[in-house]
Structure 1
Amino acid sequence: MVRSMQTILSGWGNFPKQTGHVYRPEKYKELQEILRLRNQSNFISRGAGRSYGDNALNEENGVILHTRLNRFLSFDKQTHVLECEAGVTFGEIIECFLPHGYLPPVTPGTKYVTIGGAISNDVHGKNHHKDGSFSNHILDFKLLVASGEFLTCSREENQELFWATVGGIGLTGIILSARIKLMRVESAFIEVDYKKASNLDETIVLLSETAGEYQYSVAWIDCLSRDRSMGRSVLMLGNHVMQNELDGKVEPFSSKRKRNVNIPFHFPSFGLNPYSMKGFNSLYYHRFKDGFREVADYDSFFYPLDRLLNWNRLYGKAGFIQYQVVFPMETASKGLAVLLQKLTQAGVASFLAVLKTLGEKSGGLLSFPREGYTLALDIPLKGGTETLGFIRNLDQVVFTHGGVLYLAKDSIISPDLFAHMYPDLPKFREIKDKIDPCCLFSSSMARRLKIVGNLE
């Protein structure tokens, strides 16, 4: 019998913190037993805990950890297709397969994300404008549903359930394993061009003009700059380095492992403030020369924050919200300008603010990525209810300009705004009710946003 342990959990933003009954199964039979016994009213899966808000929390109910369900199952060298369990992380795939010339085709900003979490949130990366979101590269996955059945879901088989599960934040069942087509690469290096933009409009123009030239594209934004400099940025544009482009003395997959730095405790709340962040932003902006080019290893380019273990502690015990929005192309310039104006007027300091171009939306009913520009920034919660009120005002700006908020980062949006932003919600509920009529799979987010029907 698999026993549970009552544990206080949070997302990566350390807000909110809730108690859940945590299970840590090692075999599929144990998963089935947990669902059959129903010692909790409902359950949600949890991978590495890298979602920021409450979509992997389930207050006073069941939380199923996948940390021991992380085995590689097969790999086909001819097709480059990897089959692995949902608890496998991007970091584990990279460690095993990069020396042989393979990388995940899409990766978020941290490698400490599980495959199950990547599917449930339909994650995207710096190459969405070229290669789409993670779901574009999934062949199929196996899902344990409320009835106890194991279903294979793909674009051809159980198609509706496939697109409800992609981006469906774990509410259709438990993802057991997936088959993913890996990307062939000739080296572990990225050639990066740095371009500087003096304001938001110039940033958007540069992102648009360079979209066809680079596979990877992201802009660091100074969200505290004002007036004519508002939205000034440093663009980091990259392509994979071919073996014949490397120095002959460099091994193509010899990327040096850098020493990680652990943040051992929560920083005091006054550590990050508008003054310290304004100084940091100024130094960062002037650090790079326009037109500078370098060859960076994959770790430095894709996962710069992963070197700071427990970097979320920088924001103090109160935690933070990583606020991510996508605006459609036609309203992006205005919507982003209003958001940045509100941030600078309020003196809200964000340690990290990045802007990316997104391409076409996948078929995921609750998937976030869609064509437009997406801004992600960190908002410290040291102001308590006052800060939450400020964020809710930002939500209204997003709604007014046709934007959408990312469920992997959210913890406070209202059910009404959520329903407006995700018009496929009724279709998702219809599929959810059909496959899980007793609502065996639920979460704190699902109840807060009323995704699961009439539950409070």
Structure 2
Amino acid sequence: MTRFEPADVRSWGNVLQAEHHAAFPAWRDQLARIVLSGRQEGRALLATGLRRSYGDSGLNPEGGLIDMTGLDRIIDFDRERRLVRVEAGLSFDALLGVIVRQGFFLPVTPGTRFVTMGGAVANDVHGKNHHINGTIGRWVRRIGLMRSNGEELELTLESDPQLFSATIGGLGLTGAITWVELEVLPIESAVMEAENIPFDNLDMFFSLAAESDNAFDYTVSWIDCLAKGASLGRGIFTRGNHAKTGSRLPGRGNTKFTMPLSLPSLCMNRYSISAFNSLYFWNGKRKAGRQNIPIYQFFYPLDSIGRWNRMYGSKGMYQFQSVVPPAVEKDATKEMLKTISASGQGSFLAVLKTFGAISSPGMLSFPRPGTTLALDFPNHGETTSRLMARLDDIVLEAGGRLYPAKDGRMPARMFKAGYPAWQDFAKYVDSGFSSHFWKRVSQE
């Protein structure tokens, strides 16, 4: 469909929702007509995928959306050169279903496989192996980009380094990504050799992270965000490598069931979260050790529950993800966890990980050397706002930054301090593209 039609669109966090006008192309040759139509109607556009961004970087209520999920084809797969070219609306789930059977895997993947290739590149996603492979942008070789004048460009780092770097991690603001050519990794099975190690406090986490980086390609930790005192920062450290033997069949996925509707907001409180976290930590200690597990189970535990965001109720949730530099990572992380624990707010899904020193190619890419903390906060209105403002101050003082893909309320001062290249990036923003996020942080 090449016309813009009314569509109810909301963020994955379910806090932000607004009436939009959206077009739904089924073929790439329809894109130019859609873009030019938007230009004639005076709509600033934004291409979107499966809309897993938590906040407003995927919203554009005053303009128009181009829903790219109908453009979901594999264009070419060169096994010898390990290059796959796909349309921007193809999901990681669909791509993995093809390449894993052929003995390949994505070089970088976030914690869900239900993202599109265009969305992954536009947010320059990272994963459990950042210390080894960096962000996905490092593995992109070519990009198709539709500008607001209807012209489709083919970008490479060599042909147009500035626009290429602005597009990777550029939140869809340089134009509509139409296709991506990506280098993929060879694997020998669809099985992971994994190890779970309980740790009792934050110091133990940092020790485990330091000793694991050289021997394990993938590391990540779940933490109990409400633990206090000597147990502050306790959790389960997970590390792993691709197994050299085992089935190459990825299976049908790991989704056990789907949340049919939003839970009452009262279900997400200090007592339920604390009880769950205590039980999860106890169970993690009980199951500690090494085991071989299916590849989807290792990389995408959140996908085991479809529409898990509904657990946070009709008021939704905010996600907070920060990164703070190595020189202050221990003190800043401890201060954030103390603040969260004292507030009684937090989530079941708190994640702690160290980033490596591999530079991200995008001008607005989030990862940098240091420690990243990510967790969800049920939306309790002003109480939640005050907590997140206090966390902002800690991150700002530490010289860190927040992740636009996870954000729904980052103050402009936080964005500009965390991304000093934002003004250089702005030179490459296509005036025919915009988003609620960009208007909020660039114009204040």
- TM-score, structure 1 normalization: 0.94
Once residues 186 and 73 of structure 2 are traced to their aligned partners in structure 1, the CA distance between those partners, rounded to angstroms, is 22
Q: Do the aligned partners of residues 291 and 257 (structure 1) sit closer, same or farther apart at CA in structure 2, a change above 3 Å counting? A: closer
Which range moved further: 297-306 or 6-15? 6-15
1:219–1:356: 8 Å Cα contact kept in structure 2?
Answer: yes
AA partner of residue 59 (structure 1): P
Q: Supply the AA of the counterpart residue of 2:389.
A: R
385 and 170 in structure 1: CA distance in 2 versus 1, 3 angstrom threshold: same
Query: How far apart are 1:256 and its partner, in Å?
Result: 6.3
Q: Which amino acid aligns with 2:369?
A: E
Post-superposition shift, 1:257? Answer: 4.6
Q: 1:411 pairs with 408, 413, 417, which one?
A: 408
Match of 1:50 among 43, 49, 52: 52
Cα deviation, residue 100, structure 1: 1.4
Deviation larger for 14-23 or 383-392 = 383-392
Q: Does 1:175 align with 2:177?
A: yes
| Correspondences of 1:20-419 after superposition (within 5 Å) | 20-37=20-37, 38=39, 39-243=41-245, 246=246, 251-253=247-249, 255=251, 257-258=253-254, 260-289=256-285, 292-359=289-356, 360-381=358-379, 383-419=380-416
Structure-2 residue corresponding to 1:442: 434
SS of corresponding position for 1:236: strand
Aligned-residue offset at 1:297: 0.5
Percent identity over paired residues: 38
SS in 2 for 1:288: helix
Structure 2 CA distance for aligned equivalents of residues 240 and 106 of structure 1 = 13
Q: Report if the CA contact (8 A) 2:105-2:185 is conserved.
A: yes
Give the counterpart letter for 2:435 in structure 1: S
- Superposed CA RMSD in Å reads 1.5
CA contact (8 A) 1:42 1:441 kept: yes
Distance in 2 (CA, whole Å) between partners of 1:72 and 1:415 is 38
TM-score w.r.t. structure 2 length? 0.96
Note closer, same or farther for the CA distance 1:34–1:217 as it changes in structure 2 (3 Å cut): same
Secondary structure of the corresponding residue to residue 67 of structure 1? helix
1:93 and 1:103 in contact (8 A); partners too: no
Q: Counterpart of 2:264 in structure 1: which amino acid? A: P
Q: Partners of 2:99 and 2:248 in 1: how far apart?
A: 14
Give the stretch that moved more between structures: 47-56 or 252-261: 252-261
Tell me how far apart the structure 1 counterparts of residues 316 and 250 of structure 2 sit (CA, whole Å).
37
Query: In structure 1, the residue corresponding to 2:405 is in which secondary structure?
Result: coil
Which deviates more from structure 2 when the two are superposed, residues 6-15 or residues 320-329? 6-15
For the 8 Å contact 2:195–2:288, the answer to whether it is kept is yes
SS at match of 2:346: coil
Rounded to whole Å, the distance in 1 between the matches of 2:16 and 2:220 is 29
Contact 1:40–1:62, Cα closer than 8 Å, also in 2:
no
| Maintained 8 Å contact 2:401/2:414 | no
CA deviations 1:301-350 (Å, max 9, x no partner) are 11111121110000001110111001111111111111111111110031
**Conservation of the 8 A alpha-carbon contact between 1:165 and 1:364:** yes
Q: Do 1:152 and 1:158's aligned partners in 2 also have CA atoms closer than 8 Å? A: no
Change (3 A) 1:166 1:257: closer
Task: Indicate if the aligned counterparts of 1:90 and 1:112 stay in contact, CA closer than 8 A.
Answer: yes
> Offset of 1:262 from its aligned partner?
1.0
Letter in 1 for 2:417: H
How many corresponding residue pairs?
440
- Asked if 1 retains the 8 angstrom alpha-carbon contact of 2:128 and 2:219, the reply is yes
C-alpha deviation, 1:253, in angstroms? 2.7
Report if aligned partners of 1:19, 1:58 keep a CA contact under 8 Å in 2.
no
Residue 17 of structure 1 and its aligned partner are, at CA, apart by 0.9
Query: How far apart are residue 281 of structure 1 and its match?
Result: 1.0
Deviations 1:222-258 (A, max 9, x none): 1100001000111000011002xx5xxxx34364654
Q: How many angstroms does 1:147 deviate by?
A: 2.5
Contact kept, 8 Å, 2:263 with 2:312, in 1: the verdict is yes
What is the CA–CA distance in structure 2 between the aligned matches of 1:189 and 1:69, rounded to whole Å? 30
Query: Which consecutive unaligned segments of at least 5 residues does structure 1 have?
Result: none
